[in-house]
Structure 1
């Protein structure tokens, strides 16, 4: 579905991405793990057309090169981004935010059915349709942001730190929704600080360090990797042989 190769990007003289490669198949959840400043958000913005990669980058979506397309054309192809910080329209109501998501031409047919699916995914939005989004909790705003993206009828959903600032309860609700979104046939590319929750729902994982690929594998293998456990899951290093008691 999505194939990326030789993807690089500079902010001035700072290289944020260096020859990154990645692919995601239809129906997958792929997680991207890495430290703050590793280039994860820039990667998502490059796919969404919000930043321009250096010459030679290849971003192919469903067989077509989208590396030089403007953001609105990428949305029309079926890619939707939920950015870090949500970027909802706070003065507008929930209903108005969701209606804006259905603006692309690809989304206008079946808008009512898609809205029903969004409200089934996030039932608490049903009773808040006339509420100004700025008056809602962070978790509810995140539901609006994800719902708005789904209203564009995507086949690939990009999410940048969807649980950032949310309570554990609301984080679990968001991750439950992401698993359901995948079951509906939408692929998900996920950047998320909560590595444990990401690994629980992802099929595969890419590691990004200093803007470069640092490893990839299945989520189950990554969860059992001692280096991944120490770096991302908060597990302590096992005792050395010298400190083990004698048999």
Structure 2
């Protein structure tokens, strides 16, 4: 279980996160919904150790404290982040990017079998393993980013706007692949602009507003919620009844 308690974060005088509480179990898919600037990316960065939360914040994985640890230690403990913008190494090949993902000690045993699994998930990467990442399409680069994160043998995989800038057919393929990742027992925490698609593979969702969690429910209930439909799905709840 990944548990976040009273998590607050400041950028100077700006309070980006305000006492956020969230939980996610291994094998569960959790979606975080909110408008731009709601604090969603800051939440993932806090969990991943990329920014330092305010004193009194709590982040724990299976009872082990993650709060205040550097990013590389958090990867070693089993939490990986696919950041917005992907963050891959463009001047390295697909295979080299994946091998870098297996740098953590926890990932070194079983590296070859995990790489085979990534290539099974993303056959295009297997075909282009010697291709430089910066010559690939946006969808293929996102595959590299997800594959590299999976190479670290995570218990939890966090994804920040994985469908951003991708064609609809690529988005459909991507989320079908994330279903398969979930079936391996990896917990998924997804920040995603495509609310309908992300909720379709999720167990639960949280609503964020101005750095706070303002709602939580099952994915099915959130899809039916008139407020969510109006805010995120562009639906007129009167005409959609």
- Place the TM-score, normalised by the shorter chain, in its bin: over 0.9
Unmatched runs of 5 consecutive residues or more in structure 2: none
Indicate whether 1:192 and 2:192 are aligned: yes
Partner of residue 44, structure 1: 44
- Which contiguous aligned blocks of 4+ residues in structure 1 show a shift greater than 3 angstroms? none
Partner of residue 213, structure 1: 213
| 1:28-177 mapped onto 2 (5 Å cutoff) | 28-177=28-177
1:164 Cα deviation from its structure 2 partner: 0.2
Partner of residue 245, structure 1: none
For normalisation by structure 1, the TM-score amounts to 0.96
- SS of the equivalent of 2:88 reads coil
* 1-structure distance, mates of 2:59, 2:132: 37
Unmatched runs of 5 consecutive residues or more in structure 1: 240-247
Partner of residue 242, structure 1: none
* 2-structure distance, mates of 1:203, 1:10: 30
* 1-structure distance, mates of 2:78, 2:237: 43
- SS of the equivalent of 1:15 reads strand
* 2-structure distance, mates of 1:5, 1:216: 15
* 2-structure distance, mates of 1:131, 1:26: 34
1:75 Cα deviation from its structure 2 partner: 0.4
1:65 Cα deviation from its structure 2 partner: 1.1
For normalisation by structure 2, the TM-score amounts to 0.98
Partner of residue 12, structure 1: 12
* 2-structure distance, mates of 1:100, 1:52: 25
- SS of the equivalent of 2:50 reads coil
* 2-structure distance, mates of 1:212, 1:24: 17
Partner of residue 235, structure 1: 235
Question: What does the per-residue CA deviation read over 1:186-214, in whole Å, with 9 as the maximum and x for residues that have no partner?
Answer: 00000000000011000000000000011
Aligned length: 239
1:237 Cα deviation from its structure 2 partner: 3.7
- SS of the equivalent of 1:43 reads helix
* 2-structure distance, mates of 1:205, 1:198: 9
Greater Rg over alpha carbons, structure: 1
* 2-structure distance, mates of 1:27, 1:151: 17
**RMSD of the alignment, in Å?**
0.7
* 2-structure distance, mates of 1:237, 1:185: 36
- SS of the equivalent of 2:85 reads coil
* 2-structure distance, mates of 1:153, 1:13: 37
* 1-structure distance, mates of 2:213, 2:32: 10
1:12 Cα deviation from its structure 2 partner: 0.8
